Every structure is written in C-alpha cells, then in structure tokens.
Structure 1
Amino acid sequence: MTMRGLALPMLGFALLCAPASAAGTERVIRVRPPMDLHRALDEAASLRARDPGRPVAIELSSGLHRLARYARIGPEHGGREGAPLVIRGGADGTTRVVGSVPVEAVALPRDLAARLPAAARGRVKAFRLPESLSARPRIRPPRLLGPPPPPLTFEVFDARGALAPARWPNDGFARVTAGPEAARPSIRLEGAKEGAKEGAKSEAKSEAWRGEADLWVEGYWSWGWLFETIPAEVPSTGPALVRLGAKPYEGIRPIARARIVHALAELDTPGEWWRDAKRNLLLVWPRDGAGAVEVSVSDTLISLEGASHVRIESLRLERTRGDLLAARGGGDILVRNSALGWSGLRAAVFEGVQGGGLEACAIADTGFGAVRLVAGDRPSLTPGGLVLKDTRLTRHARLSWTQSPAVEVDGVGNRVVGNYFHDAVDYAVYLRGNDHLVADNEITRLLDGATDSGAIYAGRDWTARGSVIRGNFLHDIRTKPGLEVKGVYLDDMASGLTVEGNLFLRVDQPVFIGGGRDNVVSGNVFADASPAIHVDARGLNWAAPSVADSTSEIRTALAAMPTGSALWRRRYPPLAAILAREPGSARDNRLTDNVFWWSAPFRYEPPARPGDQIVARNVEAARTRPLAGGSDPAAFAAPPVQGGNFRLDTARMLRSGLPMAPSPRR
C-alpha cells in the first residue's frame, strides 16, 4: 500500500505518492472505471486515519464516470489546513461525472402508437425506464411560491442536453381564463387550433388530454414575477376543462398565461418525451444525430457533510435530479475550474460552511437557480466567508422561470466577485442578510419577457443592511413592451444598501428604491438608462398594512434581529428607532455624485418626497454626441461633464472574456 505505483486491481485504482509540500508527499488515488468515487473515498478515509497530516488526492481519469447514488464526503475524508483532500479530473479537462444512465430500447406498444399525433407515428421510440422509477407516479413535484421543490423524478437527456416533456403550445404560452369554481379551480386555455381563428377556445384540444394520469400546467397565473407548475387533469366525463390540483398564489388573474405539460397527444416534435408510469415506459421522439437516450437517477453527485479542507477541481458535473453538489457544515471547501450543468435543481449549494465557494467555474442549464451561498451568523454579524468568483453563469432558470436567481446570498459577509451573468430569463443576484459584497461583475441580457423583477434584487427586510454593490457593469437589460424590469431592485422597503461606482448601459430603471431608506447611490454612470433613480414611498400607501402589522413579513424580520444591541446600534445606527421615525416613508437615501448621460435622472413617485433624501453633486453629461455603440465599458468611463474630471474605474468590469471551464491543467 505504501509502495510507489503499486496497482490495486481488486479495487480498480492505483495508489501513488508524489512530492506535494513540506507537510509530506501527496497520496494520489487514481480512479478508472469500473472503479468509482465511492471506493476511492473509502480508501481516502483509511489513508487519512493512518496519516492525518498528509495531503490526499483522488484523481478521476479522463472520460465518463457514472454515479447512480451520490458520493458522501464527511469529516473523516476531509483534510487539514495545508493538507486538503483534493478531488480532481484529468489534466485534459474531459472528466465527466454524471448522474444519468442509458435506457434500453423496447417495442412500442400498439395502443400507445395509436394515440400518437399523426406527425409522430413511426418516429417515436419506446424505452424501458430503470426499475427505481416505477414507484414514482409523477414526473416531478409541484412548483409554487416558496423555496425550490424536492428533486425531479427524472429528466431525459441526449448528447445535446435535456429533452422536454410533450407540451402545448410547443413555444410560448396560451391565454388562460378561469372556469367555474367547484371542488378545485378549473381553467380553459385559449389559442389557435387548426381551422380556428386566433383566440378561439381550445376545448377540442383539451378533449385529447382526458385520461392523462400525470398532466401538468405551468405558467404565470396572477403575477408576472411568479411562474408556478401545478398538477392537473381533464375529467373523463363532463366539460373538457382543465382542473388544477392546487390553487395558484392569489388565484387566476386576467394576465394568466400557461401551457400544458406531459400529454401524449402533444408528443409532436423531435426532442419531446412522455412516460407511461404503469408500464414504466418512456416514449421519445429522438433528435437527429443526438445520440443515446439517458435518464437522470441520482439526486445529487457530491454531498459534503461536515467536511473541511476539500478541493474539487477540473471536473464536469452533470445530469442530476436535484442539486449537483451540496455542502453543509464544515469549512474551507472550494470548487474551482469545473463545469456544472444540466441539474434538475441547482449547481451548488453551500449552507453553514465557513469559508470556500466556487472559483473559475462555468455553470449552465440548471433547473431552479444556480448557486446558493448561506453562511455567517446574523445576530453576531459573524462573516461566513463564502465566495462566487470569476465564474460564468447562463441559462440558470431552465425549469422555473422565476424565483431562480443565478446566485442566492444569505447570512453575513459573503462575496460575489468578478463573474459573468448572461442570457437567462431570471435574475442574477438575490441578496439577503448583511454585509455582502457584489463587485466587478458583468450582468447582461437577463429578464427578457419578465416583469416586476431586477437583475440584482433585495427586499422585504429592514434589517438586511450593509451590503455593497460596487463596480459592476450592467448592460442591455430590457424586456418586452408592456412589461417592466429593473437593474438594481431594492424592493419593498429594502434599506441600508450601497450602490456605488457601477455602469448602467441600456438598462431599464437601473436603480429602483421601492420604499426603502438609508440607501447610498453614489458615483454611478447611467448611460441610456432611464429613469436612472426611482424612489417611491409604498410604505405610506399600498404597503402600509404590512408596515403596521406586527405579524407581517417585514415586521417579523425586524423582531428576529437584536437591533437594540450595542453591536447592531454601532453598525446600523438608524435601525433601532425605525418604528418611531415614520417607518413607511422612504427617507435618508443618499443620492450623490452620479452622472446621467442621455438618461432621465430621477423619478419620485408620490408620496415619496425629494426633500426627505440627501441629493447632491449629481450631474447630467452633455448630449453633444450620441452614445457609443457596443458594450466596451471603457467607452463610457469618462462622460462629457463640466470640468471633465469624472472618470469611472472600468478596468475590472468586462468579464465576458473569462475562460471556459474546465481549462486543461499544465
């Protein structure tokens, strides 16, 4: 076991020793299929028990590694400071760890073939699903207002990525009208059908959905900021109305639009699938040249439970029913130079971990957001020290178009620095808690089709103070006509945040203060971004009941924190007396030293009062020449202001050039 290069064929790995540091030689466990990560971790724990001070590395060979169940990393596996446990992929960056398995092709039952749309006949293939899925009657859990749901039952993949459950309409959504209330709500979906005028009721279409045992409807029911997925059925007799298995949040409003999901009659285009739960069969219309069909079976790939001093490097983590990686407890856990994608839920979750995070990664095509960083103790304002750094994030709301931020930050003292957020339907950063830093990020092309949302969002907590949004480049964030989005959205009395030194280029409503106080908006450049700064006093009108109600969300959050303690009084002086100083008003916001370039400066929505704010030294740049095109922040660093002495630091703003991960190791 201690000899250099000694092969261990019984376990399928080689144990090597190589120089590492003054602390000792690094023990390397090299993993090649059919050996898997579980056995390697067992050996790592054994090595750690015998020699706790020596670094241990598990190196997975290039190529494909499958995990049908997650790999657990506990305290017994973790390292020590200067002697971490390292799990890394091959030097060429091609090591893939996936939670999916291939499915076996079988004959398509005649009765199912007869129910297919005419265009699909002869093209749809049948596959036998893994036996582990047979006991799960539904393809997914509901998605309502609140935290992410449990893992999906499974997803279907080919070489191009995830396939979609058969749906109608295939693109976009149909208008929804509420049906008569009975034991549960019912709806009609309106849209074009063959031979009908646009907007005709599609009850003939819904006839084909009768008898579907696992039908779903997803869409926007009452608000444009809330996308919900609800089980449904069309009864076997009576009117062909779609009956919902749960009531949407605040019911069904005139804005409602939705689509049917998982109906055999809608399996009408390549890349769609449908499951027969009773026979445990999967029907797929394969995409041309997209390779074998697989389904995800693993909830997660790597679960760190109280482990410390762990490095995960140069891996491609893909295809889980839930989160790809989760770390809870412990500390000093860093994922770097890795690609994470095609998860049913998120890419990585860090909760209660002291120090660590993700660095130089690429995250794409996650289901319900991408990264969750929660660490630090709020009552004592002890920092958590987590970070998301130098990472590319895109298409992070694939399955839930709202409530799915690229990164959710909570606790105290965590950082989101130097990342590139781009091309997604939901927002980039959700801030909760205290004293976080969001700096030097590029954020672009988000929220297309969204409404009442913002690229960086915080809200509904007077106590969530001290966070700084600095030196970021937000550009090209606009939505469709009739909808509205924001850049930095300080919603529902969010207070005590700092927005400074940012560049907003072609951003609708770039800084939106929704009733809050004690915010600082200073030294920003607004270029073709109007109105640059919005202030309203919603706590004095439509939100006044929540300010007065001691059981409301914002008042409950206030009562939960020790705002009267010496520490909190020192850090956030105005907070202790907030209920005694007209709590519903928007006041004491410092709006200073900003430059407005081809942008309307301020919008105060009554009863917000300009005299309640501190407004000074803001300037409008001359409109002597049109704004430069393109998206180079350096072109907007020196607006033509009187005196010509303003210059914005844009050196770290452009992040679209971040390398793709994993990069080959030298």
Structure 2
Amino acid sequence: MNSAVMPSGRSPLVAGLALLLAVLTSGCRADDVSINVEGTRTSSPGAEGTLKAASLAEAIEYVRKDGKERTTPVTYRINLPAEAQILGQPLAISGPEPPAGSRIIIRGAPGGTRISGATFVQNHLKLSRSRDGRYEYALPFSELPGETAQKLLRKLSTISPRQLMVRVNGKTRLQSTRWPNSGFLPVVEIAGDPRSSTATMAFADLPDGVRRSPDLWIGGYLTDSYLFVNARALAVDSKGVLTDRNRLRADGKPPERVYFYNLATFAQCNSFFYDASARTLNFCSEEPIETLEVPVLDTLLAVSGFHNLTVRDVVFELAIETAVTVRDSVAINFSDVIVQLAGADGIAYTNSSDSRIDHASIRAVGRRGAWLSGGDRASLTPGRISIEDSSIQDFSLIYRTFAPAVQMDGVGMSVRRSVIFNGPQFGILYSGNDHVIEDNLLAQLLTEAGDSGFIYSARDFTSQGTVIRRNVLLGTGGRYFNDARGIYLDEFSSGNLVTDNVIVGIPYGILMNGGKDNKLLSNLFILSSPSIWGAALGYASWWQVWRNDHIQVPGGLSVRNLYSLPVDKEPWTSRYPEIAGYKHSDLLRPERNLIEGNRFMGAGSITAFDGDIPTAEVRNNSAVVYRGSLQLLERMRNWIAPSQLDETLALVSSELDRHGLTEHIPLRAPDRAGAQLPGDRFATLSEFK
C-alpha cells in the first residue's frame, strides 16, 4: 500500500473495515476526521479512529481525495507534530472541495510547528578561514544535491541575493555583504554620453572590495526620496559603477543615497555573498556554523479556489518569495501563527473574502507583512478580510519602499488592534473603499524613505469611506524624518474619516494634498509641527508637469476610476452622496474638507489655505504650550526597541496628564498582539545600521 494514511495502530485492511463499520453503526455520520502527521502524539480520546499520514502534504492529498467521495459536510483536523516540517515542494490546497459546509483545520503542536522551505547544507560547507572570532566558509553548489543546486542557480539568476534569508545555528539571519556598513553615500556625478543607455555613477572613493566584486548590486534612492531601487551593477572600474541610465533621474541629478551589496569580501561578519562565476555561496559567522539553512522554495503554502481552511499554531519560515498565498478563496483563516524570514510578503490574499489573520507575528520579511485584497469595487461588495491582534515588525527588509506592513485593496478590509514597528517607509498603504484602520500602534516607521506616511493613500478620488480612528503613531528613530508624514492623504485622496488618533513627534501629523470630503476630527497632536497641512496640490506651479498624467480624462492616474466605476449609480450615490458631482467640479480644488475638534500640545499648527485657495473648513480646535521635560523629546529622536514601547507610551501619557489633556484614547500597546506560542524563538536580525 503506497499511501501511509491509515488508522493508527492497525493493519490497513483491518483498520479500514473498522473505520467503515464505525461510520455505518453511527448512523452514516462521519463528520469529523482526524489525521495525525507522523510524529504527532495520539493521546487524545478517540485516537483509535485517527488516521496517520507520513507528511503534511500527504494528509492534504488524503483530504482532497476523500472529500471528492463525500456528499455531506465534514471537518478534517490535521494535527502536526512538534518536529519541523521541511517541505520538498510548496503545499497546495485547491479544488475540488469537500461538500459545502466542510472545513479543514491544520493545527500545530502546542509550542508551534515549523513549516520550512529551507534545506540544511552545513554538511557541504568548506571552512576557508578561522581567526579572531570569525569563521568563513564556502558552499560550492557542485557539492549540493543536483536538484537543490539547480533551484538555487535558477533563482539567483533572476533575484537579488538579498532575498535569500539564510539562517545560522537556528538563530542568526545572515545579511548580504554591503558597503558602507551602514547608511548611504552620495554619488558625485553621473558620467557618460547622455545618449547612451548606460551611465557611470562616480564616487569620491570606492574601496577595493567594491571594485573587485564581479556580482555587485546597487541599493538606493536613485531618483526620488520615496522610491528605493535594487539593481545589478553592469560593471565596476576606476571611474565608478556602470548602471542602466533609465534607472537614474532624467535631469542628470546624482543620487544622494546609495550603497552596494553582495561584495566579494567580508567587511562585516554575520554576512554572505554569492559568487556567480564560481557558483558558490560564501559565509562569515561570528561563531562556528553547526546548522545552516538556505531557502530553496518560493512559497510554503498556496491556497487557491478554496473555502473554509483554518491554520493554527504554526510557524511559516524560510521562503524565497511570499510565504503564504491565498487566491480566489473564502474563509481562509490564520490564528496564532508566526511568519518570518520570507524574501517577499508574509501572507498575501488576492481576490478573496471573509477571511481573518489574528494573533499573528509577521517579521523579517523582504516586502509586505500582509496584503489584503478582495471585494468588488463596482458593486461596493465588501471582501471582509482582516488582520487583528497581530504584530508586524522588521518588514520591507529588501524592497524598502511601497512594501508596507499591511497593504489593503478592494472593499472592506481592516487592520485592528495590531502593532506595526520598525520599517523604512509606510506602515499601512490602502486604496479602495470602506476600509477600517483602528486601535493600532504604529511606531518607528519612515526610518529611511521621504515624502511618505505612516498611513498612506493616493491617486484616486473614488477611494472613499475609509475610517482611520483611535490609532497611536509614534515618530521614533527618524534619521531622515524631516520629510515624514503621519497620516498622508496624498494626490487627491478623498472621502476619508480620520478621528481620535494620537500622533506623537511626526513633523507633518496629517497632510492632505488636494482631495474632497475628508474629515479630520478630534485628533491629538504632540510635538508634531506642522500638525495639519492642507494643500491645493493641483494648483502648485511645480506640480503642473504631472497634471496631465493625473487629471487627463479618462485615463489619468487620479481620475481613471472616477470615469470607469459607476459612481453616478447605486449603491455609490447613497454611500457617497457627493461623488456623483465630482466630474462636473474643479477636481483640482479641495472641497468640503473639515478640520474640527483637534488638540495640539507643543508647536501645533493648521494650514487650511494654500495661497488664496481654502483647503478645509476649520472649527473648534485648541492648543496648549508644551511645558514638559526634555526626556520625551530625546526619546522621540532615538531608535527604540520593541520592549521600550510601553515605557515610551507611559512617558507620553504622563506629559498629557501634566498638561491637563486627560481625555484621549488609552496610550498603551494592544493587549496580546502577536502569536502566543511558548516555543517561539526569533532569529537575530543583525541589522547593520
């Protein structure tokens, strides 16, 4: 018998007959099927009727086949062992489905079961140097199993080496080698024939380690402060670094913030580089390598066209691309899960609905923590996908920009009672309708990118109905913070309700760049100046070069949905009464924006005119002079650790009490945000700052 799925403790034939007899004698009601993946303890009552599977993939395949034969709803419970599940290929769950009303529950061991897309390669390492607490190794692909070597070669021919989340000794994530070790360096000039497709970036000085690296990559803000680029260096010589000219500014202005990575030298340890010509990965560790995990799978779990799946007590880790993908599915839920060490997104939903992520810890991912996309904008049918009571930290490690902790598209997504911490740009990026962002703590964001917001939306007059309320935004650690915004309603974002938020230490607390029908009500600003800025972006002289790109009918970036969605029909006209008149109005002029009941402590201000153009109506706002200590000011200037969040919030709260501002939302981190797995151990990030 090829399949290892069988009732535990019996021969296949006897066990099968016994299970069938049990079903028949119980009134043909087999509505709960338990499957223990090999290694699972079977001490629970009723274990005699429990099936066994050699692997999680085999258990899923059993469910697929068994579900096709059933005519009544069934619950499949797949129980995982404590031992890590090392995947040979991504887990795929798709149709055909069991009968309507059925569900699958995949549950890890009490301490959490790890599902990994990596392979252990320490037995193939060659120690090349060992001295002064540094251990350098080479991993020749010729020493690896053929299939593993081919997977890595194929991926490394198309992706940045940084997407390999390499882990040493089960705890330390190795970074791609880089120079400088932290921060950026400016380009002195752009050299070369302007008519050429390539250009040379010249620098004041390049060390030999850069010049002698044949597989060098460039990372940096090559055109704008809000857009990070990863690009291969085409060549390196005494003049500088050659790159594609189309990656640089058309006006020839040299980039101010650039660094190099995948250097063929170890300027710092706990790092690695890829040598394409030698076909080796090379590592430096501060301790001898006993285990070395290198991801070989793009994805760990792919759900497509499915209903009713719940995953609990699981750690998804070590994927080259997105760890978990959900497409065209309904009621796909993740509870008490950890997602970490993924080269792209943590969890991504597309064209799905009625799903939830709760008590999740998503961390150390290359792009977005979670992408929530579902519902239908034409009919305003909500998708109802949420992330709740979760924590997302150290995200956007590779892509750096337009890779938020949470991205929401479509209709009816929500982020509630979650902590978003330590990212280079946005915390939440949204488009679409009727989203809810409430009771969250967002801290230490925009640590690198400019012209960006903790919460950001732009370029769509029809993205209306979103509510942003009772969130706390903490502006710690902002080295490049002069260009930061708290809640950024950019480029004609309209129809938002922003209420009862607390914004601390962010230069532009709320910024509206044009737009209509926004309401900014009862927010509290602390040491955030200017606090509220309303601009008539469309009338700015410097912006006119982009006017046609945005406003030209019918395909301009900011108006294409206005002219393609049925905004003059139900349910749009009832939901957003003003929007039907937008086409007949001056779209560039801000209208019906309201700033009311906001309070300011320390250097608060409201800008509600842009020249002679009113941008908002202002009512009943008030301010108090800051008379507190310098302790809060110093805290906001510096980086903090996650363990310092409660202390920082208490410091803010004490200053508010001192100034008589006692009516505000509780200043504390959401209770039990993140996974509650006692076996959790987080990989050290070893960030080079």
Quickly name the TM-score band, shorter chain normalised: 0.7 to 0.9
Look up the match of 2:645.
none
Q: In 2, distance between residues paired with 1:566 and 1:60?
A: 48
- The 5-angstrom pairing of residues 560-599 of structure 1 reads 560-599=564-603
Look up the match of 1:282.
281
Structure 1 residue 516: deviation in Å?
Answer: 1.8
Task: Show CA shifts across 1:317-341 (max 9, x none).
Answer: 0000111111101201100101000
**Pick aligned residue for 2:663 from 632, 647, 662:** 647
Look up the match of 2:352.
353
Look up the match of 1:479.
478
2:120 matches 1:102: yes
Q: Choose 313-322 or 472-481, whichever is displaced more.
A: 472-481
2:151 matches 1:139: no
Amino acid at match of 1:658: A
- The 5-angstrom pairing of residues 429-444 of structure 1 reads 429-444=428-443
SS at match of 1:493: coil
Q: In 2, distance between residues paired with 1:57 and 1:360?
A: 20
2:184 matches 1:164: no
- The 5-angstrom pairing of residues 496-645 of structure 1 reads 496-541=495-540, 542-544=542-544, 545-546=547-548, 547-550=550-553, 551-604=555-608, 606-607=610-611, 609-610=613-614, 612-621=615-624, 630-632=648-650, 635=654
- The 5-angstrom pairing of residues 68-467 of structure 1 reads 68-76=88-96, 80-81=100-101, 83-93=102-112, 95-103=113-121, 105-106=123-124, 123-128=136-141, 129-132=144-147, 133-134=149-150, 136=153, 139=156, 141=158, 154-158=164-168, 159-176=170-187, 177-181=189-193, 183-188=196-201, 190=203, 200-202=204-206, 206-209=210-213, 212=214, 214-234=215-235, 240-245=239-244, 247-248=246-247, 250-251=249-250, 253-264=253-264, 266-289=265-288, 291-467=290-466
Structure 1 residue 455: deviation in Å?
Answer: 0.5
Q: In 1, distance between residues paired with 2:245 and 2:38?
A: 48
Q: Is the 8 A contact 1:488 1:512 kept in 2?
A: yes
Q: In 2, distance between residues paired with 1:220 and 1:85?
A: 45
Q: In 1, distance between residues paired with 2:310 and 2:185?
A: 47
Q: Is the 8 A contact 1:134 1:280 kept in 2?
A: no
Are residues 604 and 320 of structure 1, via their aligned partners in 2, closer, same or farther at CA, if it must alter by over 3 Å? same
Q: Is the 8 A contact 1:157 1:294 kept in 2?
A: yes
Structure 1 residue 426: deviation in Å?
Answer: 2.3
RMSD over aligned CA atoms reads 3.5
SS at match of 1:230: strand
Amino acid at match of 2:666: T
Q: In 1, distance between residues paired with 2:104 and 2:582?
A: 48
Higher helix share: 2
Are residues 582 and 122 of structure 1, via their aligned partners in 2, closer, same or farther at CA, if it must alter by over 3 Å? closer
Are residues 74 and 3 of structure 1, via their aligned partners in 2, closer, same or farther at CA, if it must alter by over 3 Å? closer
Give ranges in structure 2 of 5+ residues lacking alignment: 40-52, 633-647, 681-689
Structure 1 residue 418: deviation in Å?
Answer: 0.7
Look up the match of 1:194.
none
Q: TM-score, normalised by structure 1?
A: 0.85
Task: Show CA shifts across 1:559-608 (max 9, x none).
Answer: 22212223222222222222432211222211111111224121346336
Are residues 72 and 84 of structure 1, via their aligned partners in 2, closer, same or farther at CA, if it must alter by over 3 Å? same
Q: Is the 8 A contact 1:358 1:388 kept in 2?
A: yes
Q: Choose 172-181 or 128-137, whichever is displaced more.
A: 128-137
Task: Show CA shifts across 1:204-230 (max 9, x none).
Answer: 665423xx2x33211111111111011
SS at match of 2:582: helix
**Pick aligned residue for 1:53 from 47, 70, 73:** 73
Q: Choose 501-510 or 483-492, whichever is displaced more.
A: 501-510
Q: In 2, distance between residues paired with 1:32 and 1:650?
A: 47
Q: Is the 8 A contact 2:134 2:284 kept in 1?
A: no
Q: In 2, distance between residues paired with 1:607 and 1:117?
A: 66
Q: Choose 296-305 or 506-515, whichever is displaced more.
A: 506-515
Task: Show CA shifts across 1:427-453 (max 9, x none).
Answer: 210010000000110111111233111
SS at match of 1:570: helix
Q: Is the 8 A contact 1:23 1:53 kept in 2?
A: no
Are residues 481 and 4 of structure 1, via their aligned partners in 2, closer, same or farther at CA, if it must alter by over 3 Å? closer
Structure 1 residue 254: deviation in Å?
Answer: 3.5
SS at match of 1:424: coil
Q: Choose 283-292 or 127-136, whichever is displaced more.
A: 127-136
Give ranges in structure 1 of 5+ residues lacking alignment: 144-150, 191-199
Structure 1 residue 625: deviation in Å?
Answer: 5.9
Q: In 2, distance between residues paired with 1:107 and 1:477?
A: 41
Amino acid at match of 1:180: G
Are residues 656 and 455 of structure 1, via their aligned partners in 2, closer, same or farther at CA, if it must alter by over 3 Å? farther
Q: In 2, distance between residues paired with 1:594 and 1:564?
A: 33
Q: In 1, distance between residues paired with 2:433 and 2:154?
A: 42
Are residues 527 and 30 of structure 1, via their aligned partners in 2, closer, same or farther at CA, if it must alter by over 3 Å? same
Q: Is the 8 A contact 2:446 2:481 kept in 1?
A: no
Q: Is the 8 A contact 1:275 1:283 kept in 2?
A: yes
Look up the match of 2:44.
none
Amino acid at match of 1:311: T
Are residues 664 and 108 of structure 1, via their aligned partners in 2, closer, same or farther at CA, if it must alter by over 3 Å? closer
2:53 matches 1:42: no
Q: Is the 8 A contact 1:271 1:284 kept in 2?
A: yes
Q: TM-score, normalised by structure 2?
A: 0.82
Amino acid at match of 2:192: P
Task: Show CA shifts across 1:356-385 (max 9, x none).
Answer: 131111110000111000010001000001
Amino acid at match of 1:26: D
Q: In 1, distance between residues paired with 2:630 and 2:469?
A: 23
Amino acid at match of 1:91: P
SS at match of 2:64: helix
SS at match of 2:485: strand
Q: In 2, distance between residues paired with 1:393 and 1:183?
A: 43
Are residues 155 and 620 of structure 1, via their aligned partners in 2, closer, same or farther at CA, if it must alter by over 3 Å? closer
SS at match of 1:576: helix
Number of aligned residues: 625
Task: Show CA shifts across 1:101-138 (max 9, x none).
Answer: 012555759xxx7xx99999973333435534447467
Q: Is the 8 A contact 1:16 1:29 kept in 2?
A: no
Are residues 659 and 381 of structure 1, via their aligned partners in 2, closer, same or farther at CA, if it must alter by over 3 Å? closer
Q: Is the 8 A contact 1:540 1:607 kept in 2?
A: no
Q: In 2, distance between residues paired with 1:608 and 1:359?
A: 48
Are residues 183 and 376 of structure 1, via their aligned partners in 2, closer, same or farther at CA, if it must alter by over 3 Å? same
SS at match of 2:604: coil
Amino acid at match of 1:510: G
Structure 1 residue 654: deviation in Å?
Answer: 2.5
Q: In 2, distance between residues paired with 1:628 and 1:384?
A: 44
Are residues 635 and 379 of structure 1, via their aligned partners in 2, closer, same or farther at CA, if it must alter by over 3 Å? farther
Task: Show CA shifts across 1:441-496 (max 9, x none).
Answer: 01111112331111000011111011000111112346226732111011111111
